[in-house]
Amino acid sequence: MKENKFYILFLIFLCSSSLFAQLDNPNPFVKFRNIEDNTEPPLDSELPAINFPSFTKPDENPENDKYADLGIERPQEINIAKEDEFVSTVTNKAPKFFTKDKELDETLFASDQYLGDIKTNATTVNVVYRDHEYVDGDRIRVFVNEDVVRSNIYLTGSFKGFDLPLVEGFNKIDFQAINQGSSGPNTAELHIYDDKGNLISAKAWNLLTGYKATFIIVKE
């Protein structure tokens, strides 16, 4: 009977020792070992590409693709055969339908001409003139209050002239025809602008040699 008790106590001692040994272990984690796997993946394991339906019928001819050159910058073409492509800035020519001045009528043009008068409170005006018909060499002399301010002006198809400071009251401007050019009378168009650039008068004359066209500006 004593032997049995001793045997039981011995077994309890062995179990207790094993339990304390596990509790004292500083590294209780489980370790796993890497194993190389050389197994080949099964064939045809990739998913096939998905083709979405098209709502337009593709054109097999690339020349018919209207978007083929989208984003490509091309130089602008100029058609030199069209006259409208180029704007002429030459203004010293009379309109092309004038090939000569009006028919010379001695009884109509053999006198001085009065072009009228205007009133203004401007301090200066811009007086400009040009040959508005056939440019044939017409020349004029300009007087202001009987004084010569331009002695020999050749009239071209472009406006040219001078600024005139106005005196109180009457400012008389005379345009005398020095010649009649090579065709018809001395012809010209007259424009007068105030000191703000507003056109205040537009006149024209047809003169024989030596006669005058007179315009009066009254400064108020």
Identify the residue with better confidence: 185 or 80.
185
Contacts of 157 (CB under 8 A, 6+ apart): 91, 92, 93, 94, 130, 131, 132, 135
C-alpha to C-alpha distance for 106 and 209, rounded to whole angstroms = 11
Q: What is the per-residue pLDDT for 133?
A: 86
pLDDT band of 220, cuts 50, 70, 90: very high
Q: What is the per-residue pLDDT for 16?
A: 59
Closest CA to 212 of 180, 170, 174, 172: 174
Q: What is the per-residue pLDDT for 47?
A: 56
Would you say 149 and 142 are in contact if contact means Cβ atoms under 8 Å apart? yes
**13-63: pLDDT as tens digits:** 665 555 544 545 555 555 555 555 555 655 555 555 555 555 555 555 555
Fold of 113-219: Immunoglobulin-like (2.60.40)
**153-171: pLDDT as tens digits:** 999 999 999 999 999 999 9
Parse the chain into domains and list their residue ranges.
113-219
pLDDT at 110 over 90: no
pLDDT at 146 over 80: yes
Identify the residue with better confidence: 17 or 176.
176
pLDDT band of 93, cuts 50, 70, 90: very low
Identify the residue with better confidence: 137 or 184.
137
**116-132: pLDDT as tens digits:** 999 999 999 999 999 98
Q: What is the per-residue pLDDT for 182?
A: 86
Identify the residue with better confidence: 207 or 21.
207
Mean pLDDT to the nearest integer, 178-205: 94
Amino acid at 120: T
